[in-house]
Each structure stands twice: as structure tokens, then as C-alpha cells.
Amino acid sequence: MDQVIMLPRPGPAPEERFAAVHAACHDTVYRYLARRIIPAHLAEDLTGEVFVIVWEKVLGGAQPETAYVVAIARNLLRGAYRTSAKASRLRSALAHEHMRPRVENPQVARALATMKEPARELLLLTYWDSFTAEEIAVILGSSPGAVRVRLHRARKAFATALASDSALLSSLGKVARS
């Protein structure tokens, strides 16, 4: 009796795996970087660097998730701020315009500007970038539980800053009418 030997099917080639990761993550990574870098062409450069690293990971057998790829982008961005000769110009530009695109509501913009960077980053990752707590945990190198606690505190700080701004505007309005 002839016995049929079943050989395992080969998995997708690295090029196919990379193409899948690139298609799933490119726009998200670019938007993440473009909101944090001025001028925008630097976001394009860093996005390219991110996918060079992703290619190396894929060649090593990995199939990175979106949050992992954004974590790579975040680390490259932090490294660019520290080591690049352009870092001082980037920091200066970010001090004046720390978000892209601009927040349309001036009260929201002022409230965000008064917050500490880690809290602001959590809010932006949650509401602008639409990441879950689990994905943010991967991006920030933290646990999902810690992210949820920090996000709760960030929301409270934002609400306090927004209320404080509203109270200030209300009192200024009363003075102006007097």
C-alpha cells in the first residue's frame, strides 16, 4: 500500500509578508509621525526608516502588528530628537506647533497646551490616532492596565484644564461687559 506523505506548505515569502505589513501600517505610521514633526517631509523620511526596520524584522520571521510598527516609529522619532543636528529646530517648531493638523477649537488647543507631554500623548494616541489601550501599551512599552490608569488621569486633567479655561473666558467676558 502506498503511503502519501504530506509535506507542510511553505509560508508566504518575506516580500509578501512585508507587503501585507506595509499595506496595513503605512498610512497610520505616516499620520502618527506627520502630526508630531514639522516640516512634513521629515515624516516621510522617518516613515521610510521605519519600514527599513520592519523589513529586517520580517526577514527575521516576524509579522509585526500595527502597534509594534508605531512603537518603532516612536523610538525613531525620539532618537531623531536626541541625535540629529536638526533636533533643535524640531524642538523649536514643536514648541510653537506641537500638533498637526491644528486643533480647530481654541479652547481644546489651550487645554492640551497646558497638559504635560505624557498625558497629552495618551489623549492624542487615543482620540486622534484611535489606538486601543492594548496598542498604546505596546507603543509606549507599558502594560494595558497602566495605560488605562494614565488615560483616566489624563482625561481628568484635560477636563480640569478645559473647565479652568472656560471659567477664565467667562470671567473675562463679564469684565469686558462691565
Q: pLDDT digits over 30-81, tens only?
A: 999 998 876 778 889 999 999 999 999 999 988 889 999 999 999 998 887 7
Q: Please tell me the predicted confidence (pLDDT) of residue 1.
A: 56
- The candidate with the shortest Cα–Cα distance to 161, out of 113, 123, 118, 122, is 113
Q: Collapsing DSSP states into helix, strand and coil, what is residue 102?
A: coil
Q: How does pLDDT run across 26-37, given as a tens digit for each residue?
A: 999 999 999 887
Global pTM exceeds 0.75: no
Q: What stretch of H or E contains 70?
A: helix 66-83
Q: How does pLDDT run across 73-127, given as a tens digit for each residue?
A: 999 988 877 766 555 655 566 665 554 446 678 888 888 888 998 999 999 999 9
Question: How far is it, in rounded angstroms, from Cα 90 to Cα 103?
Answer: 19
